[in-house]
Amino acid sequence: MAATFPSPDGVPAPLPRMGSQLPPSPPSSVTNLKDLAIDSSSNPLSLVFPQEPQTVEGSRPYPLPPKARKNHVLPEDVKTPDNHVERDPRLIRLTGIHPFNVEAPLSDLYNEGFITTKDLHYVRNHGPVPKVEDADVLDWEFTVEGLVEKPLTMTLRDLIRDYEQVTYPITLVCAGNRRKEQNMVRKTKGFSWGAAGLSTALWTGVALPDLLARAVPKRGARYVCFEGADKLPNGYYGTSVKLNWAMDPNRGIMVSYKMNGEMLHPDHGKPLRIVIPGQIGGRSVKWLKRIVVTAQPSDNWYHIYDNRVLPTMVSPDDSANLPETWKDERYAIYDLNTNSATCYPAHNEAILLEGGPETYKVRGYAYAGGGKRVTRLEVTLDKGKTWTLANLSYPEDQYRMAAENETLYGGRLDMSWREACFCWCFWDLDIATSQLQAADDVMIRAMDDSMMVQPRDMYWSVLGMMNNPWYRVVIHKEHDHLRFEHPTQPALMPGGWMERVKKSGGNLTNGFWGEKVSGEEEIVQEEESAKDICMVNDKVKREIEIEEFRQHDGEKDTAWFVVNGQVYDGTSFMEGHPGGGASILGAAGQDATEEFMSIHSETAKAMMPDYHIGTLSATAQKVLTEAGEATSVDTSPRAVFLQSKAWSKAILTSKERISSDTKVFSFSLDHETQAIGLPVGQHLMLRLRDPVTREALIRAYTPISEGTEQGKLHVLVKIYYDTPDKKGGKMTQALDSIPIGHFVEFKGPVGKFEYLGRGVCSIGGKKRQVKRFVMICAGSGVTPIYQVLRAVMKDSEDPTTCLVLDGNRVEEDILCRKELDELAVLGGKRCELVYTLTRPGKDWKGLTGRMDGKFLEEKVGRPVEGEEGDTLVLICGPETMENSTRDALKGLGWRDEDLLFF
């Protein structure tokens, strides 16, 4: 029997016979577009980029895109660099507000059909979207350079005028599609895509072989590198593919400027991008500026540290110290692997058992890579013991039926000669409801024409890419209906059998999808206790709804917060919290998972069962997640910059080098008269995101700005660089790498200490009067010390005296030295400032040696009997220094309540 595919009216039609002839030689120019480039005064954009899809004369045996929606700039984008981009509110944000990384709800994506509108097409952005005005589109310039005989510099106008245009349907897929499943097994370095990280569009542009043939690659050329205009913390985004792939017309690589007949949307590369069929979306560089022919693969940071499948035994921690492993091209991802997913039944969809349908049409999508065709989709209801073939349809094949020389959206639509398949296909199978009722789950697997089949089990890797095990939907029998449960939900959305299994203590890697097997329970418990810290009280079974949770949002000094879906009551710990009660109140009524897990030590996590009061219900978690996405960054105009419950964005305006490893980073606030709002002695939280993994990097800093300063914020940071022997600091290196003009997020103030002036302090909310400060610091720990010292010395009527002990290795390491010296002079007899170095230079005239017990006994002395409480010792520096200082001072008789560690 001949294979069939659905015709436009739904009646199966014979699969077209596909010849093996090569495509016709492209003409050197397209005559009907020549005038466009010569006379740009007649609004050429209206000709090249019509607002509505153009019609095609004659019959159309292929589907056209659904009608796109009219979108607007969304409120959450207004205060971001993407405030010029209109977007569909249905899209699910996977990495917070910015940068924009989204997928559509799986049902909505499937319901649009074969072609996806720009509204629901997935987006993977590493940073801000370049802004290109419509008037400048045709003048967009790019180059073809490197190992070529005839380097080219051309505009989009030239590309349209001088080369043949083609239009092809192409499915793009993010290599992270279905990554949430890997993150449930073990956290990868990537954010959580669901199963909708793919989309299909009609792309119009110029075949890349035509451009390369004009430039004439030289002998020895082996790769083609692409670079975009999106400036990121680690340079411009770029990657490469092999030159022989780029020259092969069967590969279908194109330089595209239209999507579904319209100008490229900004999120999709306006005005020009590379589109590489059959390969992961990360190779299809957007906002194209350079095509470089080379002898070696790209050395771009994003080519090396993104889109790789490292060996499964490499952990996230290990990967940070394996630069040669990252550079190994054997681990780079190019062609997609075969994959599939079930779209219907949808997650949590239910069907009635009594009075419901006798059969249910299970359906979904499948795709393969490198031009391969999906040849079968199999369904099992008994965990792989038996399988049933599903029906497959290939809408892509309908485009092969286009008439000879037919054009679509200004490009020649000629696919009859090409065997390669570059689009997703659809599958369906009618299953009796009684069979579904008898089964525990529905699982599927696809096979391509090279007989490669989806694996049963997951191949976990550090970046969480190319996840393609069997797709499993669990069936729950609930009273009078069946309810279906998908593996996961995207981003931080709760739900899915994998999350449920993990929370119940099941082992997702046991080969039985987390179901308990004989003799396994004890082993799992041993493994879990070794690698994870339990943060819940197993005896607590209470489920908390959103209404009850919000009654404890800090307004009445009761503080409930959520970490990993569990509710904690931090009210009783506000006084004892090292960061002060404000830290807990700032998290009250919110999901604090990201901040808590980024900042707190294993000791703090081990304390959590004592404060665990229940589990947030699934409905409440959804409400909280949506509310958090909408308000996670405060965009309202206000007089004070820092907010305790919302992140506020400031733009990086300068970096001033203070020493070989220290810089002052300056940020501009919302407006020139906006106050920072940081009390003396307190600090703020700074948040960055890893440019590749979107992992939140959060650290506490004390700025050197005065809290009353307006419009600007200055933060002194010691940067811990990588060395051959040791990995450096994630946060400080990320901060150092971001470009001027990039934003950083701040929240605060936090901290248990505040200097109110004239010897009055507040510690944990309780006032204390002191007569003397002993300030001990090292390195960048000088910043909170400097902040308090400045407040004391600038008030000529403040009677408080200060002894400042600043220990460092070499003279260059003394930070804020000029400012400290000036304050010492200003304070006169009220201030004694002492520097000591452990590795002094030959010209050093000051003290030498460590701030050990002997040094502290000489400079600080023992507490004076009868004057307990008159002196407060403020300490800030590396952990080893703080610990040795604590031991030495306690050995001299100083009380814990007189020692305060910033």
The label of the residue with tokens 């239209």 reads 258
Neighbour count for residue 510 (Cβ, 10 Å): 15
| Whole-number Å distance between alpha carbons of 468 and 465 | 9
**Apex 701 CA angle, 695 and 702, nearest 5:** 165
Quick one: pLDDT band at residue 223, thresholds 50, 70, 90?
A: very high
Q: Is the pLDDT of residue 616 over 60?
A: yes
Choose which CATH entry (2.40.30.10, 3.40.50.10140, 3.40.50.300, 3.40.50.620) describes domain 648-750.
Answer: 2.40.30.10
Three-state DSSP at 665 gives strand
- What residues are designated binding site for Mo-molybdopterin? 174
- Report the percent of the chain where pLDDT is more than 90: 60
Q: Tell me, what's the pLDDT at 189?
A: 87
Q: Is the pLDDT of residue 53 over 60?
A: no
The mean pLDDT value for 37-41 works out to 38
Q: Is the pLDDT of residue 857 over 80?
A: yes
Tell me if 278 sits within 8 A of 422, measured CB to CB. yes
Q: Is the pLDDT of residue 484 over 90?
A: yes
Under CATH, which number does the domain 543-628 receive?
3.10.120.10
Six-digit token string for 192? 């959580």
Tell me if 717 sits within 8 A of 659, measured CB to CB. no
Q: Is the pLDDT of residue 530 over 50?
A: no
Q: Is the pLDDT of residue 409 over 50?
A: yes
Quick one: pLDDT band at residue 220, thresholds 50, 70, 90?
A: very high
Q: What is the mean pLDDT of the chain?
A: 86
Whole-angstrom CA distances from 203 to 124, 437, 558, 812 are 18, 44, 56, 57
Q: Is the pLDDT of residue 182 over 70?
A: yes
Cis peptide before 249 (omega within 30 of 0): no
Tell me if 872 sits within 8 A of 768, measured CB to CB. yes
Question: Parallel, antiparallel, or unpaired for β 273-275 and 198-207?
Answer: unpaired
Q: What share of the chain is helix, strand, coil (3-state, %, to 5)?
A: 25, 30, 45
The label of the residue with tokens 């159309």 reads 60
Q: Dihedrals φ, ψ of 692, to 5°?
A: -100, -55
Three-state DSSP at 545 gives coil
CATH 2.40.30.10 fits 339-390+420-529, yes or no: no
Q: Is the pLDDT of residue 156 over 70?
A: yes
Q: Residues 6 or more apart from 504 whose CB is under 8 A from it?
A: none
545-570 residue pLDDT tens: 988 887 887 666 787 888 888 899 88
Q: Is the pLDDT of residue 5 over 60?
A: no
Under CATH, which number does the domain 757-901 receive?
3.40.50.80
Q: How many residues does the chain have?
A: 902
690-720 residue pLDDT tens: 655 556 788 889 999 886 789 999 999 998 8
Cα atoms found within 13 Å of the Cα of residue 523, Cβ hemisphere only? 8
Q: Tell me, what's the pLDDT at 523?
A: 37
The mean pLDDT value for 14-28 works out to 32
Quick one: pLDDT band at residue 579, thresholds 50, 70, 90?
A: low
Q: Dihedrals φ, ψ of 729, to 5°?
A: -85, 130
Q: Tell me, what's the pLDDT at 723?
A: 80
Q: Tell me, what's the pLDDT at 592?
A: 78
871 sits in which H/E element:
strand 871-876
Q: Tell me, what's the pLDDT at 37?
A: 37
User: Which of 169-173, 484-488, 761-765 is the least confident region?
Assistant: 761-765
Cα atoms found within 13 Å of the Cα of residue 339, Cβ hemisphere only? 28
DSSP designation for 40: G
Quick one: pLDDT band at residue 606, thresholds 50, 70, 90?
A: confident
Tell me if 702 sits within 8 A of 784, measured CB to CB. yes
- What residues are designated binding site? 174
Fold: same for 339-390+420-529 and 543-628: no
Quick one: pLDDT band at residue 14, thresholds 50, 70, 90?
A: very low
Q: Is the pLDDT of residue 585 over 90?
A: no
| The 3-state secondary structure of 681-713, one letter per residue | CCEEEEEEECCCCCCEEEEEECCCCCCCCECEE
Quick one: pLDDT band at residue 511, thresholds 50, 70, 90?
A: confident
Q: Is the pLDDT of residue 198 over 60?
A: yes
Domain boundaries, the chain: 339-390+420-529, 543-628, 648-750, 757-901
Identify residue 421 by its one-letter amino acid code.
C
Q: Which residues are catalytic?
A: 174, 306-307
Q: Tell me, what's the pLDDT at 51?
A: 47
